DNA sequence: TCGGTATTTCATTTTTTCTTGAAGTTCATG
DNA sequence: CATGAACTTCAAGAAAAAATGAAATACCGA
C-alpha cells in the first residue's frame, strides 16, 4: 500500500487524455447502450464518435479509448449494422473513417425489430402450445390455468400493439 | 464416449420432471426477463409460479427447478420487491407460500421507475455539464458540437415524454 | 502482380455475473 | 425460553460475457 516512488513510470504512458466533454458523452452512452445489452466498449466508441468534430479512423479510436484492435473492429461492425455509425471516405487516406449517425431512433428501431419482435413471435408460439397442454390438465386446474394463459395473451397483444406506436413516435 | 452401461445410475435421481406446460412458461419468462437484465433463475421461478395451480413453498420451488437454496431465496426476494410475486399464508404451514402476481404491468412499472427514469435524470445532468464544456471549445467545433448536444436533449425529452404514456398504456 | 497497410476473425485470457451451500439469523411453537 | 424448521446472507466456485492480440484476410495503390 506504500506509494511506489515513481521511478520513471516505465509504461504508464497510457494516458488516453479524453476531454471532459468526451468523458461525459462516453459515460452517457455506456449507460444507455448497456440498457439494451450492448457491451461497454460499444458504448465507448459511440460516445466518442458522438462528440467528435471530425470523422475518426479505427486506430485513432483504439488509441483514444485504450481498447484493443479486436474490440474496436467488432464494436464498429456492430454499430454499423445498427445503423448507429457510418463510414465516410476521406480523400487521400486508405483507412475507413467513422462518424456517429445522429438519428438515435435507429438504435431503437433495430432493437425493436431484432430483439423485441422475434421474442414476441416466439412467445405467441409458446402460448399456442400452452393452450394445447390445457387439455391434459385435470379439470380442476384447467380453468384457472386457462385464465392465466388468457392474461398472458392479453399482455402479448398489448405489447405488440404498442411497438408500432413507439416506433412511429421515435421517428418524430 | 462409450455409453456407460446403466449400472443403477446412482445419483441420476435428479429428474425435476416438469410438465410441458411448465417448461413452456419457464422458457418464456426466462427470455422476457433476461431482456430486462434478470438472471435465468429468476425467470425460472416466475415461470413456474405463473402456471402453478397452487401457492408454492420455497423448498418445493427449489426441488422442482433444481436450483439452490440461495438462488431460490434471492430470486424470490427480488421478485417480491418487483411486485411480481406475493406471499400467501397457508394455514397450518410455517413456510411462506408464493403466488405469481398476474399484473405483469408491475414488472414494466418497476423497470421504468427503477432503471429508466434514474438514467434519464443522470443523462439530463450530463447534458447540462456537456453544455458547460462547450465554452472551452475552439469556436470552429463549438457550433457543430452544440448541435449534437441539442439533438441529444431532443431525444431525452422525447423519451421522458413517452415514459408516462407507456406507463398509462400498460395499466390498461 | 506485389508490397504492405487496414481490417476481420477467433482462440485465449480477463472480467463480470450468477449460483452454490454452509453458516448465521429469525421466528413460530411447545 | 429453548428448539428446530424456515429463511437470509455471503464467501467461494462456476458459468457466461467481453476484451485481447496474433494470425488470416482483404484491399489499395504502384
**Closest nucleotide C1' to the C-alpha of A71:** D19
Residue in the structure block whose three cell numbers are 421478485 = B79
pLDDT at position A41 is 98
For B169, which of A32, A123, A162 is closest by C-beta distance?
A162
Residues of chain B scoring pLDDT < 50: 1-15
Whether A144 and chain B come into contact, CB under 8 Å, resolves to yes
Q: What is the per-residue pLDDT across A27-69, written as a single tens digit (0 to 9) for each?
A: 999 999 999 999 999 999 999 999 999 999 999 999 999 999 9
- Check A148 against B102: CB less than 8 A apart: yes
- Check A102 against B170: CB less than 8 A apart: no
d(CA A78, CA A106): 13
pLDDT at position B68 is 98
Nucleotides on strand D with an atom closer than 7 A to protein CB?
5-11, 17-23, 28-29
pLDDT at position A9 is 38
Residue in the structure block whose three cell numbers are 395499466 = B171
Closest by CA to A22, choosing from A45, A51, A65, is A51
pLDDT at position B14 is 43
A and B: number of Cβ contacts within 8 A: 95
Do A75 and A50 form a contact (C-beta atoms < 8 A)? Answer: no
Positions 99-158 in B, CB within 7 angstroms of strand C: none
- Check B19 against A130: CB less than 8 A apart: no
| Cα pseudo-dihedral B44, B46, B47, B50, rounded to 10 | 160
On average, the pLDDT of chain A sits at 89
Residue in the structure block whose three cell numbers are 398504456 = B169
Q: What angle do CA B48, B54, B55 make, to 5 degrees?
A: 75
* Helices and strands: H and E segment counts in chain A: 7, 3
Residues of chain A scoring pLDDT < 50: 1-15
Residue count of chain B: 172
* Helices and strands: H and E segment counts in chain B: 7, 3
**Rounded to 5 degrees, what are φ and ψ at A99?**
-130, 150
Nucleotides on strand C with an atom closer than 7 A to protein CB?
5-11, 17-23, 28-29
B-chain residues within 8 Å CB-CB of A32?
119, 123
Whether B27 and chain A come into contact, CB under 8 Å, resolves to yes
Count CA within 13 A, CB hemisphere, residue B70: 0
B-chain residues within 8 Å CB-CB of A152?
28, 50, 104
Cα A42 to chain center, whole Å?
8
For A148, which of B35, B50, B133 is closest by C-beta distance?
B50
pLDDT at position A16 is 52
- Check A133 against B24: CB less than 8 A apart: yes
Q: What angle do CA B124, B39, B62 make, to 5 degrees?
A: 145
Mutate to test the interface with B, among A28, A108, A136, A139 (most CBs of B within 10 A): A28
pLDDT at position B105 is 83
Q: What is the per-residue pLDDT across B3-52, written as a single tens digit (0 to 9) for each?
A: 333 333 333 444 458 999 999 999 999 999 999 999 999 999 999 999 99
C-alpha cell at A159: 405489447
Residue nearest to nucleotide C19 (CA to C1'): B71
A70 CB closer than 7 A to any strand D atom: yes
Amino acid at each position: 500500500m506504500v506509494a511506489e516512488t515513481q521511478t520513471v513510470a516505465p509504461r504508464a504512458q497510457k494516458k488516453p487524455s479524453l476531454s471532459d466533454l468526451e468523458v461525459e458523452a462516453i459515460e452517457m452512452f455506456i449507460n444507455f447502450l448497456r440498457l439494451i445489452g450492448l457491451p461497454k466498449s460499444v458504448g465507448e466508441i459511440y460516445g466518442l464518435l458522438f462528440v467528435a468534430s471530425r470523422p475518426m479512423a479505427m486506430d485513432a479510436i483504439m488509441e483514444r479509448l485504450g481498447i484493443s484492435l479486436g474490440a474496436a473492429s467488432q464494436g464498429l461492425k456492430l454499430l454499423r449494422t445498427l445503423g448507429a455509425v457510418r463510414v465516410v471516405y476521406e480523400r487521400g487516406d486508405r483507412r475507413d473513417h467513422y462518424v456517429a449517425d445522429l438519428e438515435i431512433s435507429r438504435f431503437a428501431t433495430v432493437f425493436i425489430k431484432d430483439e423485441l419482435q422475434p421474442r414476441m413471435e416466439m412467445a405467441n408460439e409458446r402460448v399456442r402450445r400452452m393452450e394445447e397442454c390445457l387439455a391434459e390438465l385435470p379439470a380442476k386446474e384447467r380453468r384457472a390455468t386457462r385464465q392465466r394463459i388468457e392474461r398472458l395473451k392479453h399482455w402479448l397483444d398489448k405489447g405488440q400493439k404498442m411497438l408500432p406506436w413507439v416506433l412511429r413516435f421515435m421517428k418524430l
